[in-house]
């Protein structure tokens, strides 16, 4: 939903720290449901809290617990790309975080970052609210000339909402792009990868669309409306609205995407293919809608019935639909990996209270469901949970740059000197109060006494990796 209007240059060395002694703390948030192929069992939950040093160690060494198919963690991506794309629901890859999966999460996150870098926010520019660069030059201009992909189409979207903006126009805004891997990249990736990326919220109509939290039937398959499959009305509007009333208006975001993805699937028919969607905030909602749409219409199936795998990498994404939508995505085989910050409020919306996860907890381990649970929001996929917060810049909890920086550099870094001094002064004050209380035979509880007594800086940021699935 909400996203930074401009992608700031994130310097993790300036505002976060991973203390050496991180205490494990319990965190409560919605569970993620994915049906296992081999069994139908009660919900299981695996959580492991790691210190940043432990994560760094996991990333740099071969981890037997995270080996794919009992092979070395140094196995090439070309050999194991299906598992990395979620064919086994990322079993044994999230905890601990496998190096290949971490590498791919960062790579797809960089593709989303390119959307922000290319988006023109200068009201005086002729390309205002469009991409600054042409398709052929975009990757080079944003510093990704060696990414191994070629942009094939720009995507535009406009929700069916009339909100005045500075220039008074109501045309579609650049929302993302479609790209395909080159012949050289195919050798490294093990397949031809079609990627669709989406940025987060920027324009006024998009903000309003984010606040339209009512559920409405998706009805994306004309032959089978499936009224039990419901999604957030604002996201659906952004995905399906067009400019039919305008003489030179664009087709809907949906029409543009389905047309281009179908064209590429037909062009590279006979090759090993994958369809990957990646988005941040509101963009992750569009990515999931597109993944569901392609699978529901069967566009990823060839004449022999073979399916091209569909994977969604969601960064700080909100809930998109109800439990019926979640169940249908699982039935269709749409794989979703949600990278979330436990302190990011956007990942808990819509349906902060009335969501499928909360009602499932209330119902216990049985199969009972409340009558209204089908009208509640539900997350889709497997979660990779990070935990970071900066008191001096609270907005960083949803910043895509912070997400990626943390994944790129999980080792301990230092906060700003001013922040450290402030926390040190507060700690010293409470320690003095504690000493005075001891002299009076009183005990003053200081929460960080055991954790930080020997540390020059206070606990400010934790990293937690957590996988949730059923």
The string of pLDDT tens digits covering residues 168-195 is 454 678 999 999 999 999 999 999 999 9
Poorest-pLDDT segment among 70-74, 202-206, 455-459: 455-459
List the CATH number of the domain containing 455.
3.40.50.1820
H-helix segments, 268-397? 282-297, 323-332, 356-363
Structure tokens at 396: 């960083």
Tell whether 75 is covered by a domain.
yes
Residue 412: pLDDT band with limits 50, 70, 90:
very low
In a domain, 4, yes or no: no
Which pLDDT score, from 0 to 100, does residue 394 have?
85
Q: Percent helix, strand, coil in the chain (nearest 5)?
A: 35, 15, 45
Q: What percent of the chain has pLDDT over 70?
A: 59
Residue 20 has pLDDT above 60, yes or no: no
Q: Which domain holds residue 114?
A: 12-469
Given pLDDT bands bounded at 50, 70 and 90, which one contains residue 395?
confident
For residue 1, tell me if it sits in a domain. Answer: no
> What pLDDT band is residue 202 in, cutting at 50, 70 and 90?
confident
**CA-CA distance, 122 to 77, in Å (whole number)?**
40
Beta bridge partners of 46: 467
Answer whether residue 274 shows pLDDT above 50: yes
Residue 447 pLDDT class (50, 70, 90 cuts): very low
Band (pLDDT 50/70/90 cuts) for residue 107 is: very high
Tokens representing residue 380 in the block: 């889709």
Question: Helices (DSSP H) in 336-468: which residue ranges?
Answer: 356-363, 400-408, 417-439, 449-452
> For the chain, how many structural domains are there in total?
1
Residue 7: inside a domain, yes or no?
no
Q: Is residue 252 part of a domain?
A: yes
Using the predicted structure, report yes or no on whether residue 97 has a pLDDT greater than 80: yes
Residue 455 confidence (pLDDT): 37
Hey, which of 215-229, 412-426, 440-454 has the most confident mean pLDDT? Answer: 215-229
Note the pLDDT of residue 36. 38
| Lowest-confidence pick of 7-21, 131-145, 325-339, 428-442 | 7-21
Active-site residues: which are they?
281, 344, 398
Residue 223 has pLDDT above 60, yes or no: yes
5: in domain = no
Q: What is the DSSP letter of 465?
A: E
> Residue 400 domain-assigned?
yes
Dist. CA 147–CA 145, nearest whole Å: 6
In-domain check, residue 285 = yes
Range scoring the smallest mean pLDDT among 64-68, 85-89, 133-137, 398-402: 64-68
Confidence of residue 409 (pLDDT cuts 50, 70, 90): confident
Lowest mean pLDDT among 3-17, 160-174, 364-378: 3-17
């Amino acid at each position: 939903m909400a996203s930074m209007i401009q992608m700031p240059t994130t310097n993790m060395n300036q505002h976060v720290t991973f203390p050496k002694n991180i205490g494990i703390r319990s965190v409560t948030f919605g569970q993620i449901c994915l049906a296992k192929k081999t069994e139908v069992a009660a919900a299981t939950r695996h959580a492991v809290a790691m210190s940043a040093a432990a994560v760094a160690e996991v990333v740099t060494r071969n981890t037997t617990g995270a080996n794919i198919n009992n092979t070395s963690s140094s196995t090439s991506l070309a050999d194991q790309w299906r598992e990395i794309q979620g064919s086994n629901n990322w079993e044994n890859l999230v905890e601990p975080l496998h190096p290949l999966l971490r590498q791919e999460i960062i790579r797809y996150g960089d593709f989303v970052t390119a959307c922000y870098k290319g988006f023109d926010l200068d009201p005086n520019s002729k390309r205002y609210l469009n991409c600054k660069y042409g398709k052929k030059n975009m990757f080079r201009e944003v510093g990704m000339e060696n990414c191994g992909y070629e942009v094939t189409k720009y995507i535009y979207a406009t929700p069916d909402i009339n909100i005045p903006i500075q220039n008074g126009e109501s045309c579609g805004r650049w929302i993302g792009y479609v790209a395909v891997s080159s012949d050289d990249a195919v050798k490294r990736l093990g397949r031809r990868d079609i990627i669709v990326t989406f940025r987060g919220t920027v324009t006024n109509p998009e903000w309003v669309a984010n606040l339209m939290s009512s559920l409405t039937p998706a009805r994306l398959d004309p032959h089978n409306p499936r009224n039990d499959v419901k999604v957030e009305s604002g996201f659906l509007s952004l995905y399906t609205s067009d400019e039919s009333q305008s003489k030179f208006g664009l087709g809907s975001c949906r029409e543009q995407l389905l047309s281009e993805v179908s064209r590429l699937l037909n062009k590279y028919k006979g090759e090993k293919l994958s369809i990957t969607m990646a988005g941040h905030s509101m963009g992750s909602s569009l990515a999931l809608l597109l993944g569901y749409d392609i699978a529901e219409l069967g566009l990823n199936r060839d004449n022999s019935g073979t399916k091209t795998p569909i994977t969604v990498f969601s960064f700080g994404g909100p809930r998109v639909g109800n439990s019926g939508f979640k169940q249908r995505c699982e039935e269709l085989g749409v794989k979703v990996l949600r990278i979330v910050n436990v302190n990011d409020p956007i990942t808990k919306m819509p349906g902060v209270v009335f969501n499928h996860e909360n009602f499932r907890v209330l119902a216990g381990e049985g199969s009972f469901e409340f009558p209204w649970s089908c009208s509640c929001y539900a997350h889709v996929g497997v979660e990779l949970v990070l935990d970071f917060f900066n008191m001096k810049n609270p907005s960083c909890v949803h910043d895509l740059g912070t997400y990626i920086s943390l994944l790129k550099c999980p080792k301990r870094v230092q906060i700003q000197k001013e922040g450290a001094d402030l926390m040190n002064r507060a700690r010293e004050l409470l320690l003095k109060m504690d000493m005075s209380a001891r002299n009076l035979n009183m005990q003053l509880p200081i929460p960080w006494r055991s954790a930080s007594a020997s540390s020059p800086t206070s606990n400010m940021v934790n990293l937690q990796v957590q996988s949730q699935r059923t």
